[in-house]
Structure 1
Amino acid sequence: MVLILGRRMNREDSAVRESPAVKRKVLEMDTKALNSHDVFDFSSGPCHAESVLQMFNEFRDARLFTDVVISVEGREFPCHRAVLSACSSYFRAMFCNDHRESHEMLVEINGIRAEAMDAFLHYVYTGRVRITTDNVQYLFETSSLFQITTLRDACAKFLEDQLDPCNCLGIHRFADAHSLKQLASRCRAYALQSFGDVALHEEFLDLRVDELEEYIASDDLAVGKEETVFEAVMRWVYHDVEHRRPMLRQLLLHVRLPLLHPNYFVQTVEGDQIIQNAPECYQLLHEARRYHVLGNEMMSPRTRPRRSTGFSEVIVVVGGCERVGGFNLPYTECYDPVTGEWKSLAKLPEFTKSEYAVCALRNDILVSGGRINSRDVWMYNSQLNIWIRVASLNKGRWRHKMAVLLGKVYAVGGFDGQSRLSSVECYDSFSNRWTEVAPMKEAVSSPAVAGCVNKLFVIGGGPDDNTCSDKVQCYDPESDSWLLRANIPIAKRCITAVSFNNLIYVSGGLTKSIYCYDPAEDYWIHVVHTFSKQVPLSACWVRMRRLV
């Protein structure tokens, strides 16, 4: 029986029939002329592929049509070459080229576990696999060997989801060994964020010294206080003290000892037996002691707070006026260069004064003097966010400057309403007392003042209302004496000086240039031209570290 599908013919068509002797003429059909009823594209969807794959898996279980046996750890797995080659480029290269394995019935594979091979084949024949904490490592290695990317990525994602303080370091090492950059980055970020908990587990004690260094050197290490880092390092050293003792200084270079609480530093750090017997660490201990006395006057990589501690180096603006000749303002605000945000601090007391001096002492701020003839001194306590009145100056002054040298504050020169002052006073915060020191060689107001290389430098200023000085006066606190050094190339007042890397930079005021002075060589160099003259403001800027 033959089934013919076609268009039904009408009577007129049937009346004119070809003679059997007449050869049929074949006409080309235009496929575009066919309507939608002439073609039906049918697809059974993914279910067809699944059913075929399921049948192959049943064949595998029943050993039907299998043409190769994979042997792993003595356990045999009957398989189909075609299925393995379709899923894995590793097997495709093995079976489709002229290798010995392409002809042999039994193929032995080393370097993997039988349980992992069983789970791998289940995935190949079903598209599904159960990943557990017990098999994930072996399954990952097997999928990597056989180049099954999807299964390899699934194992990596499973590991990422299992991160906790007790395993993140081991997973990190595993990720590095297999070049899993994303997983390694995730592990490192997790360990940095949970360092306090991670350091309490056994995996932490097995870190190599370079791995531990990488963690504790990071500014992103999340610790509430630096004591956590120190205790983690000492726990690691004591775990194998005989071999790790020589590495102590190498690690303490990355612990921010100056930021430890002074009591903790004295009792715990200096009292540690290993540290006491490690002369190579004494310099680091001395640096921490100096910081506890000098504060921000002393700078090193270990005095910069970690981001997680909640402290940030900020610029503080004290006072100012709303316009030239306008009202004085009480506001104290700080600017965080990292976040770009301004925050308000406690208002400045007795803000009606002007032309006072400001400086940062350790992590607090001192404001002294002011117009007219004020002896008042206020200290801003950064921890309490309040202003506290401290000991008054011995002589009232304004248009003076203050600078910190070796942990003490110096109020230099100024104006008392009648004449310029050469007197200099020194403030000791521990005794809360101002004392007179040797006067300057030349009385000036509005000079630039900076402490550098254990000396105090007073640069320029105004000896009177009409002239400016180019003199550089240097004070030595050990001998309580003043010397004149190389003159600055310009004679200006209302300029500002800062010290950095044992050099002094001078700018601002009515000059368009920045100059640099080297105290060791006693010479000046011109650094750069600024865009315009910097008109002096009544607001004062200082740098300090503040809890954000």
Structure 2
Amino acid sequence: MIFRRQTHVCKDVLKLSFEVLDWPLYVFWQCMRVSRKNWLLTMESGPNSSGSHFLIIWSPRDGEVITPEIARPRVPHEILFAIGGWSGGSPTNFIETYDTRADRWVKLEEVDPTGPRAYHGTAVVGFKIYVIGGFDGMDYFNSCRCLDAVNKVWKEIAPMHARRCYVSTTVLDELIYAMGGYDGHHRQNTAEKYDHRTNQWSLIAPMNMQRSDASACALNGKIYITGGFNGQECMHSAEVYDPEINQWSLITPMRSRRSGVSCIAYHGQVYVIGGFNGISRMCSGEKFNPQANTWAPIPDMYNPRSNFAIEVIDDMIFAIGGFNGVTTIYHVECYDERTNEWYEATDMNIYRSALSACVIDGLPNVQDYIHKHS
């Protein structure tokens, strides 16, 4: 079987040296990254050998390691789904999952039979994925779809009150929130929430500003929305929603203007990454501390990108696909707060921007969504 180890799993190199390479007399001495794609491994012999040592340049993107049965990766607890988007000049209904243990993207056959969507949102409640709003190249949607990841059946759910392309979505207390967006005529400040138990959408307080192409996340019982486009300029403002009092409040503005941005809650802070500032696509990111009401920079990504997907899996932030200012990309990278570094991960199977990603954990049929080893 074939198992590819990417740079972001370098911590497993020691395990590789004994289980995969089958060199029991050699011990791991040093591992250091020598470029974006290559790692320098220094191996030295054990106490019963001549004492010599040698170097290996390990290129995880280009090379593959043949693994014996003992080194077969474990079944992951979480599965990342990358859904829809814009590819090859048109929207797509392509879906692939990311198997973190095998570091592989897996194409799914269970695409939405009603057709493609781009600039939509996704949300997970239980084992169900909700696809919210979006655009198919002609129509701006208020319709929403639901995929049951266990029985693999799609169904229509109640439509939103407003058509929302470039929508921002998040989940808080099993309620799905959809905010802002573009209805084909106006950028919106309205917002609404969906209760899967009643299959109903209900309006909540409007935001302080119109926002399309913004991004939202939930943290500590509140919802944060960042950046976006108001029809005239890319925005650096951000707001927080308190569901207990049904009120939006402005927070300290971001350090940069960002439309087509992605944000996510991670280690108690709101991370905002990439986007378009009105001039160029960005590599930069920043994080918001809710207690201090302040923003601080984080290291730049390798790839500038806007309109990409973002998720946390394996306790790292993954930035997936997007548009780099010249072309749609399929590149994936991940950020680890412990090292304060970005690492390259395996590329998706197709170029996509305007896609959305979500994570399901504990799927009883997780084997249906992971890499099949030959």
- Tell me the amino acid that sits aligned with residue 344 of structure 1: E
Per-residue CA deviation, residues 313-357 of structure 1 (Å, 9 max, x unaligned), is: 111111233x32x01233211111111111221112222x42221
Q: Residue 433 of structure 1 corresponds to which residue in structure 2?
A: 247
Unaligned runs of at least 5 residues, structure 1: 1-295, 298-310
Once the two structures are TM-superposed, the CA of residue 469 in structure 1 deviates from its matched residue by 0.8
- Tell me the amino acid that sits aligned with residue 452 of structure 1: Y
Q: Which runs of 4+ in 1 moved over 6 A?
A: none
1:366 to 159, 165, 177: 177
Identity %: 23
Query: 3-state SS of the aligned residue for 2:346?
Result: strand
Q: Residue 236 of structure 2 corresponds to which residue in structure 1?
A: 422
Bigger CA radius of gyration: 1
Query: 3-state SS of the aligned residue for 1:529?
Result: coil
Normalised by the length of structure 1, the TM-score is: 0.40
1:333 partnered with 2:145? yes
1:410 partnered with 2:221? no
Normalised by the length of structure 2, the TM-score is: 0.58
Separation in 2, partners of 1:400, 1:527: 25
Separation in 1, partners of 2:321, 2:309: 6
Q: Residue 194 of structure 2 corresponds to which residue in structure 1?
A: 380
Kept after mapping to 1: 8 A contact 2:308/2:353:
no
Once the two structures are TM-superposed, the CA of residue 436 in structure 1 deviates from its matched residue by 0.9
Once the two structures are TM-superposed, the CA of residue 520 in structure 1 deviates from its matched residue by 2.3
Q: Residue 346 of structure 1 corresponds to which residue in structure 2?
A: 158
Query: 3-state SS of the aligned residue for 1:511?
Result: strand
Kept after mapping to 2: 8 A contact 1:315/1:541:
no
Compare relative contact order (CA 8 Å, sep 6+) and give the higher one, 1 or 2.
Answer: 2
Kept after mapping to 1: 8 A contact 2:270/2:289:
yes
Separation in 2, partners of 1:312, 1:440: 33
Change in Cα spacing, 1:316 to 1:535, as seen in structure 2 (3 Å) is: same
Separation in 1, partners of 2:177, 2:160: 11
Once the two structures are TM-superposed, the CA of residue 362 in structure 1 deviates from its matched residue by 2.0
Corresponding pairs, count: 231
Change in Cα spacing, 1:312 to 1:358, as seen in structure 2 (3 Å) is: closer
Q: Residue 506 of structure 1 corresponds to which residue in structure 2?
A: 319
Query: 3-state SS of the aligned residue for 1:446?
Result: coil
1:495 to 308, 311, 331: 308
Kept after mapping to 1: 8 A contact 2:222/2:241:
yes
Separation in 2, partners of 1:526, 1:356: 28
Query: 3-state SS of the aligned residue for 1:410?
Result: strand
- Tell me the amino acid that sits aligned with residue 332 of structure 1: C
Per-residue CA deviation, residues 211-260 of structure 1 (Å, 9 max, x unaligned), is: xxxxxxxxxxxxxxxxxxxxxxxxxxxxxxxxxxxxxxxxxxxxxxxxxx
Per-residue CA deviation, residues 427-474 of structure 1 (Å, 9 max, x unaligned), is: 11111111111110001101121110001111110001x411110111
Separation in 1, partners of 2:353, 2:285: 22
- Tell me the amino acid that sits aligned with residue 455 of structure 1: Q
- Tell me the amino acid that sits aligned with residue 346 of structure 2: V
Residues 105-504 of structure 1 correspond to what in structure 2 (within 5 A)?
312-321=126-135, 323-324=136-137, 326-351=138-163, 353-371=164-182, 372-464=186-278, 466-504=279-317
**Structure with more strand by fraction:** 2
Unaligned runs of at least 5 residues, structure 2: 1-122, 323-327, 362-374
Per-residue CA deviation, residues 402-438 of structure 1 (Å, 9 max, x unaligned), is: 1111221111001111111111100111111111111
Separation in 2, partners of 1:435, 1:526: 36
Change in Cα spacing, 1:333 to 1:544, as seen in structure 2 (3 Å) is: farther
Query: 3-state SS of the aligned residue for 1:526?
Result: strand
**Structure with more helix by fraction:** 1
